[in-house]
Structure formats: C-alpha cells, structure tokens
Structure 1
Amino acid sequence: MNLNDFDRDTTEEYILLAEENSQILGFASLYLPENFIHNLFVHPNFSGKGVGTQLVNHAIEKMGKPVRLKCVSENHKALGFYEKSGWKKVVEEGKPGEKYWVLVYE
C-alpha cells in the first residue's frame, strides 16, 4: 500500500496511530457510522508486543460495542488473535481464494 492508496482507502475514516519515539508502530482506520474496523496494521518488527491489542481496545473505546471487522480467512495468526480477545466469527464470505470472516465484538 502506498500513500495514495492509503488516502483513497481511508476516506471518511477515523485513524488511530500507534507510535513511540516518533516511529510508527501501527495504525487502525475506523468507519465510525458502522462501528467497523476497516484496516488494522502492525509493523512486523512490533508484532506480538501488544500494539494490535492497544489499537483494537482504543477502537472499541472510540466506537462502543458492538464493533465489526473482516479478517482474511487464511490469516490464521490474526484470527487466533481476535478469537483470544473475545471476537466471535459471524459468517465467512467471499469467493474461493478471497474468503474472509466477518467478526463481531459485543
């Protein structure tokens, strides 16, 4: 994703930024009208250090429950992260090779 893609893909979204010592650790983009986490990204160097948890917790705090998101079905690490954090799988959607789970946190 380049900066132009980011600007286009996050139009009208609220951005949460995780940073430390002026270094970006990760971000989340939220579509507030639907309580939807559109993007959640943690820099690989900071994976497993609580950055994703902090971003998700701040997103829930900002939007209130219930909150929804989509996660690529093949991303087993992310699905495990969400399920351990109390998210529930609702439905798997998409065509073969592009499937994703809709998850909800209530």
Structure 2
Amino acid sequence: MDTRPSLFQLFVGTVIYKMPYRESRRCLDLIANHGLPITYLELSAHHLAGGRIGSWIEGLIYAQNHGIKMSVTNAAARDLIEVYGSKLTLLNHIQAFERLGVKDLDSAPLDLDKIKEV
C-alpha cells in the first residue's frame, strides 16, 4: 500500500489540521517498515479525532510483533478511549490485556474491568 502523501496532503495536514510534521513522518516510516495497512488520510483522520498517532502506530506494531489480534479500527478506537479516559498509551493498554492472557483484542471488551469481572 502506498502511504506516501501528496504535497497537497502534507500541506493540508501540517498547516490546516495542525498535524505535527515530524511525528507524522516518523509514523509513515514505521507504517512502511512494518507493512501496516494505514494511509496518510487515516493517520490525519485519527489526529483530527484527537488520537495520538504515535501511540496508535506503536501499539499496532507491538500487537503485530507479539501475535495479538487487533484491527486498525479497533486500535484507533482503543487509543481514543485511552486519550479521553485513563490517559494511558495504547501500548500500555495492550500490555495490560496481554498480562491477563488476552490475545484477541478484536473480540475483547474495550474496558479491562469487564475482563476482570468474568
């Protein structure tokens, strides 16, 4: 998947959306290096929603490297919940589930307390 943004997209992302250029560049490099199915538009949409793009990408890479099943959309939702909730990074969120033995975050509840109750 070609994740290289056009000059217009870079302009819109950095000037209009106030997306940090270096962080988005770092994320695009990580996306390319790890073969994640994320485009620049999805990256900027996550930023506009209030998500932390670095945390989102690092969480997806961690899940991929540790055999944890988690879709891009699920990771974005979990990152947004952490941003507005407990202020943890997505990586910390994934590791908390991993400590409980959960390897399929697509079917796991978004709240860790729901698993502890069962």
Query: When the two structures are superposed, what TM-score results if normalisation uses the length of structure 1?
Result: 0.27
More strand by share: 1
Query: When the two structures are superposed, what TM-score results if normalisation uses the length of structure 2?
Result: 0.25
Q: Rg larger in 1 or in 2?
A: 2
More helix by share: 2
